[in-house]
Structure 1
Amino acid sequence: MYLWTILIVLFLSLTCMTNAATPKDALVIGANTEIYITHDPAVSFEVLPNAMLKNIYAALVKIEIEDEKFVVVPDLAESWELAPDGKTWTFQLRKELVFANGDPLKADAVVYSFQRVLKLQKSPCWLYSDVIGLTEEGISALDDYTVKIITNGAPPNIVLTILGGNGIVNPKVVKEHEVDGDMGEAWLTDHTASAGPYVLKEWSRKISVVLVANENYWQGAPRIKTIIIQDIPEPTDQLLRLKKGDIDIAWNLTAEQANSLKGSPDISIVTTPGQSDEYVGMNAGWGPFKDVRVRQAVKYAIDYDAIIDKVMAGFAINNQQFLPVGYFGYVENNPYYQDIEKAKELMAEAGYADGFDVELVTNTTERRRTEAVVVQENLAKIGIRAEINIMQASQMYAKYREQGLQMIIAGWGVDYPDADALAHPFANYRVKQLAWRCTWYDDYAADLAEASGKEINEDRRFQMYQDLTNYWHIYGPFAMLYQPITYWGVRNEVKDYDKAAEGYAVHYDLTEVYK
Structure 2
Amino acid sequence: MKTLRSPLHLHLRLLAVALALTPMAAVQAKTPADQLIVGMSMVNLFSIDPANAPGLDASGVNANLYDTLVKRDQGNPEQHLPQLAERWAISDDGRQVTFHLRSDVKFHSGNPLTAEDVAWSLYRVMKLNYGLATTWKAYGYTAENIQGLIRATDAHTLVVDLPQPADPLLLIDSLATSPSAVVVDRLAVLKHEKNGDLGAAWLVTNEAGSGPFTLAKWTANDTLVMTRFDGYWGGPARMKRVLVRHMTESQSLRLMLERGDLDLAYGMAAPDIKAIESAATLQVQPLQRGTMYYVAMSMKQPEFANRKVREAVRNLIDYQGIDQQVMPHYGMLNQQPMQLGLQARLPDPGYKLDVAKAKALLTEAGYPHGFSTTIRTLSEPPFIDIAARMQATLAEGGITANIVTGTGNQVYGAMRARNFEMIVARGAERYPHPYFSLRTFAYNPDNSDSAGLPNFQGWRASFFDQQLNALIDRAGVERDATARLNLYHQAQQRYDEQAGPIMMISQMTDTAVSALDVRGFTGDDAEATRYLGVYKQR
Q: TM-score by structure 2 length?
A: 0.76
Give yes or no for the alignment of 1:260 onto 2:272.
no
- Give the letter aligned to residue 214 of structure 1: F
Give yes or no for the alignment of 1:140 onto 2:151.
yes
- For residues 190-242 of structure 1, give each alpha carbon's deviation from its aligned partner in whole angstroms, at most 9, with x where no partner exists: 54433222222333555432222222222222222321112335443332212
Conserved? CA contact 1:319–1:333, under 8 Å? no
Q: 1:508 aligns with which of 508, 524, 529?
A: 529
In structure 2, the partner of 1:489 is: 513
Q: What are the equivalent positions in structure 2 for 1:95-106 lying under 5 Å apart?
A: 95-100=103-108, 102-106=110-114
Two-structure CA RMSD over aligned residues (Å): 4.0
- For residues 303-331 of structure 1, give each alpha carbon's deviation from its aligned partner in whole angstroms, at most 9, with x where no partner exists: 4221112122452111111112366x653
In structure 2, the partner of 1:362 is: 375
**Can you give the 5+ residue segments of structure 2 that lack an aligned partner in the other structure?**
1-24, 448-455
Distance apart, 1:459 and its partner CA = 5.0
| Separation in 2, partners of 1:32, 1:89 | 39
Distance apart, 1:76 and its partner CA = 0.7
Conserved? CA contact 1:300–1:336, under 8 Å? no
| Separation in 2, partners of 1:414, 1:91 | 27
Distance apart, 1:409 and its partner CA = 5.1
Secondary structure of the corresponding residue to residue 65 of structure 2? coil
- For residues 10-64 of structure 1, give each alpha carbon's deviation from its aligned partner in whole angstroms, at most 9, with x where no partner exists: xxxxxx9x95212233211123345444444334333212211111111111234
- For residues 435-481 of structure 1, give each alpha carbon's deviation from its aligned partner in whole angstroms, at most 9, with x where no partner exists: 57767654432321333344455554343112211332344245432
In structure 1, the partner of 2:450 is: none
Give yes or no for the alignment of 1:224 onto 2:239.
yes
- Give the letter aligned to residue 243 of structure 2: I
Q: TM-score by structure 1 length?
A: 0.79
In structure 2, the partner of 1:335 is: 349
- Give the letter aligned to residue 509 of structure 1: R
Secondary structure of the corresponding residue to residue 74 of structure 2? strand
In structure 2, the partner of 1:480 is: 504
| Separation in 2, partners of 1:195, 1:159 | 22
In structure 2, the partner of 1:390 is: 403
| Separation in 1, partners of 2:276, 2:101 | 45
Q: 1:410 aligns with which of 424, 431, 442?
A: 424
Q: 1:56 aligns with which of 65, 72, 77?
A: 65
Give yes or no for the alignment of 1:466 onto 2:489.
yes
Q: 1:200 aligns with which of 168, 193, 215?
A: 215
| Separation in 2, partners of 1:56, 1:400 | 26
- Give the letter aligned to residue 386 of structure 1: I
Larger radius of gyration: 2
- Give the letter aligned to residue 232 of structure 1: M
Per mean C-alpha deviation after superposition, the further-off stretch among 265-274 and 448-457 is: 448-457
- For residues 364-404 of structure 1, give each alpha carbon's deviation from its aligned partner in whole angstroms, at most 9, with x where no partner exists: 545455435545665788xx333233245669986997798
Give yes or no for the alignment of 1:159 onto 2:171.
yes
Secondary structure of the corresponding residue to residue 469 of structure 1? helix
In structure 1, the partner of 2:14 is: none
Conserved? CA contact 2:107–2:210, under 8 Å? yes
Give yes or no for the alignment of 1:320 onto 2:320.
no
Runs ≥4 residues deviating over 6 A:
282-289, 399-404, 436-439
| Separation in 1, partners of 2:325, 2:394 | 17
Distance 1:207 1:94, change over 3 A: same
| Separation in 1, partners of 2:196, 2:357 | 64
Give yes or no for the alignment of 1:117 onto 2:125.
yes
Secondary structure of the corresponding residue to residue 72 of structure 1? strand
In structure 2, the partner of 1:149 is: 160
Distance apart, 1:256 and its partner CA = 2.8
| Separation in 2, partners of 1:198, 1:396 | 29
| Separation in 2, partners of 1:396, 1:183 | 25
| Separation in 1, partners of 2:133, 2:462 | 28
Give yes or no for the alignment of 1:272 onto 2:294.
no
Distance 1:137 1:419, change over 3 A: same
| Separation in 2, partners of 1:335, 1:131 | 31
| Separation in 2, partners of 1:141, 1:242 | 48
Conserved? CA contact 2:101–2:157, under 8 Å? yes
Distance 1:107 1:269, change over 3 A: same
- Give the letter aligned to residue 106 of structure 1: T
| Separation in 1, partners of 2:31, 2:519 | 14
In structure 2, the partner of 1:29 is: 38
**Can you give the 5+ residue segments of structure 1 that lack an aligned partner in the other structure?**
1-15
